[in-house]
Amino acid sequence: MRDYVIVSDATLDLPYELIKEYDIRVIPMGVDINDVDYNYHPDEKELKIDYFYSQLKAGATTHTTQITPIAFREFFKSILKENLDILYIGFSSGLSSTYYAAQLVVEELTKDYPDNKIYCIDSKCASIGEGLLVLNASKQKRKGLNIDELRTWVEENKYASRHWFTVRDLFYLKKGGRVTSIEAVVGTALKIRPILSTDDDGKLVVVSKIRGTKAELDFLISKMKNEGIDLESQTVIIGHADNLEHAKMLEKQIRDLNIVDDVVISKIGPIIGTHTGPGMLALVFMGRKE
């Protein structure tokens, strides 16, 4: 049976060390900073995450661009030429039409490469939620699952990737249409932090609002305790957008509980960071919705 690789896109926000360790192929994504175009790669070779947030905090205007069908086609073809099959796990269709572009390309390439298996899965996840799903899929691959078995595993487990995150500045959510202008003004004045998750369609939803760092950390941990499954065998991921201080505080509290196997801290890249702004804090784990 032909070997295969797992492919995802640059929204997965996994640490580059894990991407290398598990040979995850990642398609770069575009971001515009003050009318200068960059391709964001997980190794930050073209755009440093710290530079991106420094520009954002200085008032830069940023926009993201979707992966084009041409970019998908060239990326996938380069893998197929290695005589490898492809399992692509993509950014939620509820947040971007990127997945649909990939799906069209896969349908075309399947005709051109009839002997290869090329599968396209809508993760219904974003950022480190997507990253956690991809990481766990990579671990399943190491256990010996073939591409068809892993495809089934991902489809059966993608809703188990539980995402919870908070943002510091509501104006970034306002730009993306997640909150109204009035909510942004009032919420920022009162230092209210919305808590967001994803629904079954992979869309972002505001599920609660809190005030203060202690309440923020307590909420995230309570969700992990209540929704997590087999936490003692899990690696959970903390994501932060230029907010390492609070990420480390959250990591310490989780480690002190001694209920998970490991904790990974990861930076939120510029694709997601454009829409959340600096200060975002996230916790993802495998579990079930309360």
For residue range 177-211, list pLDDT tens digits in order.
Answer: 555 443 444 445 446 777 888 888 888 777 778 88
User: What Cα–Cα distance (Å) separates residue 182 from each residue in 126, 187, 190?
Assistant: 26, 8, 12
Q: Please name the fold of domain 4-158.
A: Rossmann fold (3.40.50)
**Residue range(s) occupied by CATH 3.40.50.10170 in the chain:** 4-158
**Residue range(s) occupied by CATH 3.30.1180.10 in the chain:** 161-286
What average pLDDT does this structure show over 96-113?
Answer: 94
What does the pLDDT read at residue 184?
43
Token duo for residue 69: 């069908």
pLDDT level of residue 161 (50, 70, 90 thresholds):
very high
Dihedrals phi, psi of 137, to nearest 5 degrees? -65, -40
What does the pLDDT read at residue 71?
96
Q: How far apart are CA 216 and CA 233, in angstroms?
A: 25
Q: Please name the fold of domain 161-286.
A: Hypothetical Protein Tm841; Chain: A;domain 3 (3.30.1180)
What does the pLDDT read at residue 186?
43
What does the pLDDT read at residue 185?
43
Asked if residues 240 and 282 have their Cβ atoms less than 8 Å apart, the reply is yes
What does the pLDDT read at residue 43?
96
What's this model's pTM, rounded to 2 decimal places? Answer: 0.93
Q: Which residues contact 129 (CB under 8 A, 6 or more apart)?
A: 123, 161, 162, 163, 198, 282, 284
For 83: left if phi > 0, alpha if psi spans -120 to 50, otherwise beta; the answer is left
Question: What pLDDT digit, counting tens, does each position of 21-49 carry?
Answer: 999 999 999 999 999 999 999 999 999 99
Interior CA angle at 39 toward 38 and 42, to 5°?
A: 125
What does the pLDDT read at residue 191?
65
Torsion of CA 39, 283, 169, 173, to 10 degrees: 60
